[in-house]
Amino acid sequence: MRVTDNTEEKPNRKSNEQINDKSSEKAMIPLLLALYLPQFHQIPENDVWWGAEFTDWHNVRKARPLFPGHDQPRIPLNQEYYDLSDVRVMHQQSLLAQEYGIDGFCFYHYWFEGKKLLEKPVENYRDHQEITLPYCLCWANHSWVNSWGTPQLEDEVLIKQTYGQESSWKEHFEYLLGFFRDNKYLKIHNKPVILLYMAAGIPRVEQMLHFWRAWAVEEGFDGVFVIQMDNSAICCYDNRTELFDATADFEPLRSWSSKEEKKAGTLRIRDIDLIYQDILSRTYTKADRSYYGAFVGWDNTSRKGKHGIVVSGSTPGKFQAFLSQLLEKSHAAENELIFLNAWNEWAEGAYLEPDASNGFEYLAAVRAAKEAFAEQRVKTEFYEKGKQDTSRVLLKSSAFDNAAKWLANELEGRRISDYFIAAGYRSVAIYGAGKLGLLLLKALTDRSIDVVCMIDSKADSLDIGKKVGLIKLDAVTRMPATDVIVVTVAQQFEEIYEEIKATGIQAEIISLGAVIHSY
């Protein structure tokens, strides 16, 4: 599957055909979407329910440590207690997210049969075209209850979620359409992406989605790409997966388990390693249509106090390692997306934004994991493309052809050493101490690849012999073990290949020409 942007206000289906411009879908790098809470601004309803000028920063500020080493209260870096009604804040956040490798935001969307809540930030995000970071919506379709305190209060409903019939679904769709038409709204196969937080909570979800998809086609889309969130460890989950285009794991709620849980009075403490162990134990395939989820941490004691849950053991280094593995698993499953919890869930201890304790380290972990993955995928792609046979690569080309192609690659920013790193060659022997051989020696040693020796029939007469460990072919069996022998002589590869194999050496033998013309 391909992820595309729709650039027309009312898309033309033909112009939005999915064109696969890569040799394999497995070359795709999953997009990282950070869940986004649009709560940090004042609304009249919260003033009534919680007091004048309330935002979730109130909960964040009032938190207190409940045990030794408990990191509370959480403090934004430079005490940036921002106001999301200011579009400049959201613009700055989008730029920061882009800088650190976040591919988009997934905004929580609150809709109660025509009644909107916390809608202003994402409407501003949509309407200000200087903001370019892609986004989508997650309909957080649950009732609002007084859950920020003791469990006894959770029966107090602040606003009840209702769904209505076809006319209500149409009204909701018309509102969503204003986002779907935005050129930065995320689409897959020309279908605007929308998540359902509690799909099983919608009484007639099958009928509602049928209408939504039909109305979307009338508007020039190819339907709506509906993703059910899986938080099944604590909540309802619709097992009729055929109704949805995909499922997204909402972590850590998808993997919530009370095993190995510690208690300090009513406070519950869980280990992040055990939760990620559960997450990473799942292996999805393309047929599963299931997206992995990652989470930064969890600590909702700023809302629930001693009745909360804390996930212990989170560090930026661990997060980078976990995310790196999820990128690999997502790539193997040919998944387009990974959902990160979250950009700014400060009152749940799940945020990527910089804070006083860790600075930018969690964001840096995202960038490091993604860049390392992307680099490895690119290297592997051109290596696999160019490697015709794992034991023998033949290429008839002149020394001039090879030199010219090598120079062209370097000018385009592609380094020959990347081929060897991608192939897993950490030790190399170079056959031929001519100009190309010496250039290869420098290129590999500059990247800390171990060149164990050079092999040349004129080893006795060349001045460089002692400096580079130059030997004749008859001494090749006594050279240090090596992963590969690279033959730099352009026109005699087949003969040299047979001569080297005749010595009984087991190392792989490849031609420099084949390497140069494949990366």
Question: Do 109 and 238 belong to one domain?
Answer: yes
For 188-240, write each residue's pLDDT tens digit.
999 999 999 999 999 999 999 999 999 999 999 999 999 999 987 777 789 99
Domain boundary residue, one of 335, 355, 379: 379
- At residue 224, the 3 state secondary structure works out as coil
Instruction: Mark the ranges of the chain whose per-residue pLDDT is less than 50.
Output: 1-27, 385-396
Confidence at residue 206, expressed as pLDDT on a 0 to 100 scale: 97
H-only helix segments in 341-360: none
Q: What is the CATH number of the domain that holds 498?
A: 3.40.50.720
**Structural domain includes residue 403:** yes
Total tally of structural domains belonging to the chain: 2
Which are the contacts of 113, defined by CB distance < 8 A and separation ≥ 6? Answer: 162, 163, 164, 168, 172
The answer to whether residue 178 sits within a structural domain is yes
How far is CA 62 from its chain centroid? 33
Cβ burial 217-251 (10 Å sphere, 16+ → b, else e): eeebbbbbbbbbbbbbbebebbeebebbbbbbbbb
> CA–CA separation, 9 vs 15, rounded Å?
13
Residues in the chain, how many?
A: 519
Q: Which residue has the tokens 């062209």?
A: 408
Kindly state whether residue 57 falls inside one of the protein's structural domains: yes
The model scores a pTM over 0.75: no
Residues 78 and 47 in one domain: yes
25 assigned to some structural domain:
no
Residues 342 and 361 in one domain: yes
Whether residues 314 and 213 share a domain: the answer is yes
Residue numbers of the domain that contains 263: 3-16+30-379
Q: Are 444 and 429 in contact (CB under 8 A)?
A: no
- Within-domain flag for 23: no
DSSP-derived secondary structure for 361-398: HHHHHHHHHHHHHHHHHHHHHHHHHH-S-SSB------
Question: CA-CA-CA-CA torsion for 333, 37, 64, 264, nearest 10 degrees?
Answer: -40
> Is the domain of 392 the same as that of 491?
yes
Measure CA 5 to chain center. 18
- Let me know whether 309 and 433 are in one domain: no
Asked whether residue 511 is assigned to any structural domain, the reply reads: yes
| In-domain check, residue 497 | yes
**Axis-axis angle for helices 399-411, 435-445 (nearest 10):** 30
CB 36 within 8 A of CB 352: no
Q: Are residues 413 and 309 in the same domain?
A: no
Q: What DSSP element (H or E) covers 122?
A: helix 120-127
Pick the closest to residue 158 from 202, 118, 108 (CA basis): 118
pLDDT score for 232? 78
Domain-terminating residue out of 346, 379, 412: 379
Tally Cβ neighbours within 10 Å of residue 502.
9
Q: Which residues pair with 494 in a beta bridge?
A: none
Q: Among 353, 379, 405, where does a domain finish?
A: 379
Domain-located, residue 351: yes
- Burial track 3-36 (b if 16+ CB lie within 10 A, e otherwise): bbebeeeebeeeebeeeeeeeeeebbebbbbbbb
Same domain, 287 and 342: yes
Q: Which residues pair with 481 in a beta bridge?
A: none
User: What span, in angstroms and rounded, lies between the C-alpha atoms of 245 and 471?
Assistant: 61
Q: Does one domain contain both 263 and 332? A: yes
What CATH code is carried by the domain that includes residue 184?
A: 3.20.20.80
Could you give the C-alpha distances from 255 to 32, 293, 313, 316, 344, in angstroms and in order? Answer: 19, 10, 16, 20, 21
Which residues fall within 8 angstroms of residue 11, CB to CB, at 6 or more apart? 190, 219, 220, 221
Measured CA to CA, the distance from residue 455 to residue 472 in angstroms comes to 5
Structural contact between residues 139 and 36, judged by C-beta atoms closer than 8 angstroms: no
Residue 281 CA, distance from chain mean position = 18
The answer to whether residues 183 and 306 belong to one domain is: yes
Within this chain, do residues 327 and 405 fall inside the same structural domain, yes or no?
Answer: no
Give the pLDDT of residue 414.
84
